[in-house]
């Protein structure tokens, strides 16, 4: 702690110590620490209680905006929870939007526009979390939005804002083989500008790891969720 005792550089007058309690008075030390800790606990609880509803409303608004962002044309939505071995259930009244497993979007005429799904994978710095839109009828990814990332600014974080990269998700083929129930062919990342197949993603030079993470998360999320969605598509489409 060199800074603690170093004198101010500009020759400030010596500051006098206020009278300190006698050394070795442990009851006083415990009392002071306890009192300060209690005070800080009280303050934190108050601030937490006051800000929690606002923070939750912010999260909800962000998610809502993202759902419509990845489902072009969607103007209303229904939220679903996946149930093991049973058809999906609509989110009950009072439950947070973030508790749902996927969302179905409908356009102004009530026509089904697709489903929005979550995906995540380890990126360069930390886990990247994203939301993507999937059209079960065309079996294509129709939108992609990064919700959380800590990728390198200017390089890896291009996955979140580079218009050329995001154009990949304007109809990216992600077909489920009806016989095996698996994604076939899987989505593949290629060099920047080398995309020739509808299931390929044009990469970003300098951001290979981040692009690979996006491809991994999409393959995983489509493989895990889409067969279930296809199986119960009539229920999902009939939600509105």
Partner 1 sequence: MPKQDTFTPGEPPVLEADVFLKGLWRENPVFVSLLGMCPVLAVTNTVMNSLAMGLATTFVLFMSTSLISLLRSFIPKQVRIPVFIVIIATFVTIVEYSIQAISLELYENLGAFIALIVVNCLIMGRAEAFASKNPLPRAMLDALGMGAGFTFALFCLGAVREILGSGSFAGVDLFGPNFQPWAIMILPPGGFLVLGGWLLLFAWARERSDRKKAEAEAAAGD
Residue ranges that bind partner 1, judged by CB under 8 A: 1, 3-4, 6, 8-10, 12-21, 23, 25, 28-29, 32-33, 36-37, 40, 43-44, 47-48, 51, 54-55, 58-59, 62, 148, 150, 152-155
CB of 58 to partner 1, least distance (A): 5
Q: Are strands 86-90 and 112-122 parallel, antiparallel or unpaired?
A: unpaired
CB of 35 to partner 1, least distance (A): 8
CB of 197 to partner 1, least distance (A): 30
How many CB atoms within 10 Å of residue 69?
A: 15
CB of 183 to partner 1, least distance (A): 30
DSSP string, 77-91: EEEEEEETTEEEEEP
Residue 91 is encoded by which pair of tokens? 């989110």
Given the complex with partner 1, which of 4 and 86 has the nearer CB atom? 4
Given the complex with partner 1, which of 42 and 111 has the nearer CB atom? 42
Closest residue by Cα to residue 120 from 217, 4, 2: 217
Given the complex with partner 1, which of 59 and 83 has the nearer CB atom? 59
CB of 126 to partner 1, least distance (A): 9
CB of 144 to partner 1, least distance (A): 17
Closest residue by Cα to residue 162 from 129, 201, 125: 201
Given the complex with partner 1, which of 29 and 138 has the nearer CB atom? 29
DSSP 120: E
Q: Which residues of 122-137 are buried (b: 16+ CB within 10 A; e: fewer)?
A: ebbeeebebbbbbbbe
Q: Which residues of 154-193 are buried (b: 16+ CB within 10 A; e: fewer)?
A: ebbbbbbeeeebbebbeebebbbeeeeeebeebbebeeee
Given the complex with partner 1, which of 152 and 208 has the nearer CB atom? 152
Given the complex with partner 1, which of 32 and 127 has the nearer CB atom? 32
């Amino acid at each position: 702690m060199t800074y603690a005792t170093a004198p101010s550089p500009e020759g400030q007058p010596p500051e006098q110590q206020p009278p300190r309690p006698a050394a070795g008075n442990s009851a006083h030390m415990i009392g002071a620490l306890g009192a300060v800790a209690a005070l800080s606990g009280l303050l934190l609880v108050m601030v937490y209680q006051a800000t929690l509803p606002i923070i939750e409303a912010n999260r909800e608004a962000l998610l809502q905006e993202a759902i419509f962002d990845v489902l072009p044309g969607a103007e209303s939505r229904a939220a679903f929870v996946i149930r093991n071995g049973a058809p999906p259930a609509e989110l009950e009244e009072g439950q947070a939007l973030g508790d749902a497993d996927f969302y179905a979007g409908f356009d102004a005429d009530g026509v089904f526009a697709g489903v929005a799904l979550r995906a995540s994978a380890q990126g360069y710095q930390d886990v990247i979390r994203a939301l993507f839109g999937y059209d079960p009828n065309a079996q294509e990814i129709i939108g992609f939005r990064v919700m959380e990332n800590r990728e390198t600014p200017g390089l890896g974080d291009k996955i979140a804002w580079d218009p050329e990269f995001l154009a990949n998700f304007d109809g990216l083929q992600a077909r489920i083989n009806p016989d095996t129930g698996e994604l076939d062919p899987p989505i593949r990342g290629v060099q920047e500008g080398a995309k020739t197949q509808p299931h390929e993603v044009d990469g970003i030079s300098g951001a290979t790891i981040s692009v690979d993470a996006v491809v991994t998360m999409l393959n995983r999320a489509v493989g895990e969720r889409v067969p279930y969605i296809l199986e119960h598509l009539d229920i999902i489409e009939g939600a509105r």
